[in-house]
Chains A and B, each alone.
Chain A
Amino acid sequence: MRKVMLGCFVVAVFAVPTFMQAAVTSSAILTITGTVAGSISLTVEDGAGAAGTNATITGSGSNAAATDLGTTFSKYGAAPTGWTKTLQGTTSWTLASNFGVKVEKANTASTDYTLLAHLGTDPLTIVWKTGATPFVAVADKNLTSTGAYGSTVNYTWSVVIPDGLAAPDLANTINFLATAN
Chain B
Amino acid sequence: MKDCLTVVAGLGLSLLLSTPIHAERHRSVAPPIQPLTIEFVSVPEPEGALIAAGSDAWIDVRTVSQQKAWKGKAVRVRRRFGMRVHGGAASSWATATITARLDSPDGRAVIRIDGQIVSGVPVVIASHAAIGATTIHTLEIEVSDAVPEGPIAASISWEATTQ
Contact = CB atoms under 8 A, between A and B. Distances in A.
Interface residues of B, number: 74
A125 B156 CA distance: 64
A109 to B, nearest CB: 6
Contacts of B149: 35-38, 107-108
Interface stretch (A11-19, A79-87, A127-135, A153-161): A11-19
Contacts of B85: 26
A24 B58 contact: no
A34 B59 CA distance: 8
Given A11-B15, A24-B33, A63 B69 contact: yes
Interface stretch (A1-9, A66-74, A88-96): A1-9
A30 B75 CA distance: 21
Contact of A30 (B28, B57, B93, B152): B57
A19 B20 contact: yes
A107 B72 CA distance: 13
A25 B161 contact: yes
B35 interface: yes
A43 to B, nearest CB: 5
Most chain B CB within 10 A, of A15, A17, A24, A32, is at: A32
Nearest to A14: B18
A107 B19 CA distance: 67
* Leading 7 A-B pairs by shortest Cβ distance: A15-B18, A106-B145, A34-B61, A8-B10, A28-B38, A26-B36, A28-B55
Contact of A19 (B13, B30, B35, B153): B30
A41 B149 CA distance: 16
A27 B141 CA distance: 22
Interface string B46-66: 000000000111111111111
Given A18-B30, A26-B38, 18 more contacts: A4-B6, A4-B7, A7-B7, A17-B19, A19-B23, A21-B31, A21-B93, A22-B33, A24-B35, A26-B36, A26-B159, A28-B157, A28-B160, A30-B158, A32-B58, A34-B152, A35-B152, A106-B75
A106 B6 contact: no
B116 interface: no
Contacts of A4: 3, 6-7, 10
B139 A17 contact: no
20 contacts: A11-B18, A15-B15, A17-B20, A24-B93, A24-B161, A28-B39, A28-B56, A28-B57, A30-B57, A30-B155, A31-B154, A32-B141, A32-B156, A34-B64, A36-B108, A37-B64, A106-B70, A107-B66, A107-B143, A108-B148
